[in-house]
Amino acid sequence: MHSVQFTAETSSNGVLERDFTVGGIPGVLWSPASGADRAPLVLMGHGGGTHKKAPAMTGRAHLLVTGCGFHVACIDAPGHGDRPRTAHDEQEIAVMQRAMAAGEPVGPIVVRYNAHLAERAVPEWQATLDALQELPEIGTEGPVGYFGLNMGTAIGVPLTAIEPRITAAVFGLFWPEPLAETAKQITIPIQFALQWDDEHIPRQSGLALFDAFASKDKTLHANAGRHKELPRFEADSAVRFFARHLGRAVTSPA
Amino acid sequence: MHSVQFTAETSSNGVLERDFTVGGIPGVLWSPASGADRAPLVLMGHGGGTHKKAPAMTGRAHLLVTGCGFHVACIDAPGHGDRPRTAHDEQEIAVMQRAMAAGEPVGPIVVRYNAHLAERAVPEWQATLDALQELPEIGTEGPVGYFGLNMGTAIGVPLTAIEPRITAAVFGLFWPEPLAETAKQITIPIQFALQWDDEHIPRQSGLALFDAFASKDKTLHANAGRHKELPRFEADSAVRFFARHLGRAVTSPA
């Protein structure tokens, strides 16, 4: 198996940020600057077209580190961030951009392309988790969460379904195809976000994906607004969800 | 107009609890033991068959007082708590109990009876708010919130629709009839709770009531579970909603 190779390190506001690679996959690990020993780990999946250090990822990571003392890791998805695009990636992105420019529905293309990316990303996430758990400050005993919306859900649902180390997850903002069938295998506590006036994902489709999870402990947060208008306070809410389920109190008013 | 008559006072864990009456209506006012001057006020409506000091009311009041430094008031609804039942109350309650015993749907009876109670309760709430705002520690300048589920929603929706002093509200766990038409007049920020597996309120009915609010800022929290299984953490979530909208930071990890 591959091990974590750290490539850069910075620190600010009590958060240690370390770039790493695992078998060539670039990632970032955020940790408390002190006292992080054997703290729980949250894996974060970024959205389509963004990357591991996009503002949403960095912001959520800081909330989780400073609010709960967790480790937080994010890796670039295939074809995203510092990773090269394949000819297939380029082709699918071109199809998506043409649909957007023409005002045509992008849903079917996103669903198809993200399912393809998930097939590539799931084993990468598993190898990354193996390697992160080899680090002495993480270890194999602590609980693991997963937090990803949009494409982060398209990758996170199949990952969570086959990965027993993940014991709590925040998902949302995706279509039920093809995830609903996989969601029926997931029984861990989940929190799920959808936008009530999503112009891409029909309301009943979002509700259907939430409904599909077999979890006895599941919460839907539906907010008024369009696809990209998820309120900022949902990040705080996710922090409290992980604090409840991964076993650390929120230490500041997030 | 009637003024607040205080009838009893206790204090515990930094919370001052004062029983009062306004024009014969019994209520309770919870306040911070110190530093409560001109703090925001949250009105709480209790559920059907309970009263102003039921555990849910006392628990939520303590969270709001200790977490945000707010004043919190609750009054007994007509026919509830320390208030006498009319012959009409007795008759409707008997009909409801017969339906429950027979395993028949109680929804239509609850909807009808609570609409009747709301007609009596709304002017009582307005008189209570008038009187509370005469207290020097509350005043007329501060923002006012409303928090009520079940019957607290049946009363709170018509109250909020005609009461411009209420600027943020938490509702939930009720049928759309007859509230949806009234909800269309409400534009303030709201948070709305429903139970995904509610055995009394069909899922689509709960969603329809949430949908009816005209508020641009509205959030649905739907949790897996039956009617009475609303998770405890929803009280914490309501505290943070009021902290955001009534303008005080949460001062402890609620």
Give residue-wise pLDDT tens across range B56-72. 999 999 999 999 999 99
Chain A residues in contact with B240 (beta carbon < 8 A): 233, 236
> Residues of chain A with pLDDT > 70: what percent?
97
A-B interface: how many C-beta pairs under 8 angstroms?
56
Structural element, H or E, at residue A200 = none
Q: What was the pLDDT predicted at A157?
A: 98
A residues 71-100 near B, CB within 8 Å?
none
Q: What was the pLDDT predicted at A249?
A: 58
pLDDT in tens, A64-119: 999 999 999 999 999 999 999 999 999 999 999 999 999 999 999 999 999 999 99
Q: How far apart are the first and last CA of chain B?
A: 37
Q: What was the pLDDT predicted at A247?
A: 85
Please answer yes or no on whether B219 and A215 come within 8 Å at the CB atom: no
Please tell me if residue B126 touches chain A, with a CB cutoff of 8 Å: no
> Residues of chain A with pLDDT > 90: what percent?
94
A residues 217-246 near B, CB within 8 Å?
217-225, 231, 233, 236-237, 240, 244
B192, B240, B244, B248: which to substitute to probe chain A, counting the most A Cβ within 10 Å?
B240
Please answer yes or no on whether B211 and A196 come within 8 Å at the CB atom: yes
Residue-wise burial string across B130-152, b where 16 or more C-beta atoms lie within 10 A, e elsewhere: bbbbebebbeeebbbbbbbbbbb
Q: Which of B207, B221, B224 sits opposite A215 (nearest CB)?
A: B224
d(CA B211, CA B220): 9
d(CA B90, CA B104): 19
Kindly identify which residue of chain B lies nearest to residue A216, measuring between CA atoms: B224
Chain B residues in contact with A215 (beta carbon < 8 A): 224
Structural element, H or E, at residue B72 = strand B71-75
Residue B35 has pLDDT above 90, yes or no: no
ipTM at complex level: 0.93
Please answer yes or no on whether B196 and A211 come within 8 Å at the CB atom: yes
d(CA A175, CA A103): 19
Q: What was the pLDDT predicted at A254?
A: 39
Please tell me if residue A63 touches chain B, with a CB cutoff of 8 Å: no
* CB-based contact B70:B42 (threshold 8 Å): yes
Please answer yes or no on whether B224 and A218 come within 8 Å at the CB atom: yes
pLDDT, averaged across chain B: 95
Residue A253 has pLDDT above 80, yes or no: no
Q: What was the pLDDT predicted at A36?
A: 82
> Residues of chain B with pLDDT > 90: what percent?
94
pLDDT in tens, A213-245: 999 999 999 999 999 999 999 999 999 999 999
Tokens 């023409």 found at: A102
Q: Which of A216, A233, A252 sits opposite B244 (nearest CB)?
A: A233
Residue A55 has pLDDT above 80, yes or no: yes
Residue B89 has pLDDT above 70, yes or no: yes
d(CA B173, CA B153): 8
Q: Which of B223, B233, B253 sits opposite A249 (nearest CB)?
A: B253
Kindly identify which residue of chain B lies nearest to residue A224, measuring between CA atoms: B218
Instruction: Reply yes or no: is the peptide bond before residue A143 cis, omega within 30 of 0.
Output: no
Q: Which two tokens stand for residue A175?
A: 């279509």
Distance from CA of A10 to the nearest CA of B (A): 29
d(CA A210, CA A42): 21
Residues with Cβ within 8 Å of residue B140, at least 6 apart in sequence: B133
A194, A221, A229: which to substitute to probe chain B, counting the most B Cβ within 10 Å?
A221
Q: What was the pLDDT predicted at A22?
A: 98
Please tell me if residue B66 touches chain A, with a CB cutoff of 8 Å: no
d(CA B91, CA B3): 33
pLDDT in tens, B179-206: 999 999 999 999 999 999 999 999 999 9
Please tell me if residue A211 touches chain B, with a CB cutoff of 8 Å: yes
Please tell me if residue A208 touches chain B, with a CB cutoff of 8 Å: no
Q: What was the pLDDT predicted at A251?
A: 56
Chain B residues in contact with A218 (beta carbon < 8 A): 196, 223-224
Q: How far apart are the first and last CA of chain A?
A: 37
Chain B residues in contact with A225 (beta carbon < 8 A): 216
* CB-based contact B238:B60 (threshold 8 Å): yes
Distance from CA of A99 to the nearest CA of B (A): 29
SS3 label, residue B86:
coil
What average pLDDT does the segment B135-144 reach? 95
Chain A residues in contact with B217 (beta carbon < 8 A): 224
Q: Which of B203, B198, B196, B145 is nearest to B176 (CA)?
A: B203
Band of residue B48 on the pLDDT scale cut at 50, 70, 90: very high
d(CA A112, CA A127): 24
pLDDT, averaged across chain A: 95
Write down all domains in chain B, each with its CATH number in brackets.
4-83+115-246 (3.40.50.1820)
Q: Which of A221, A233, A251 sits opposite B221 (nearest CB)?
A: A221
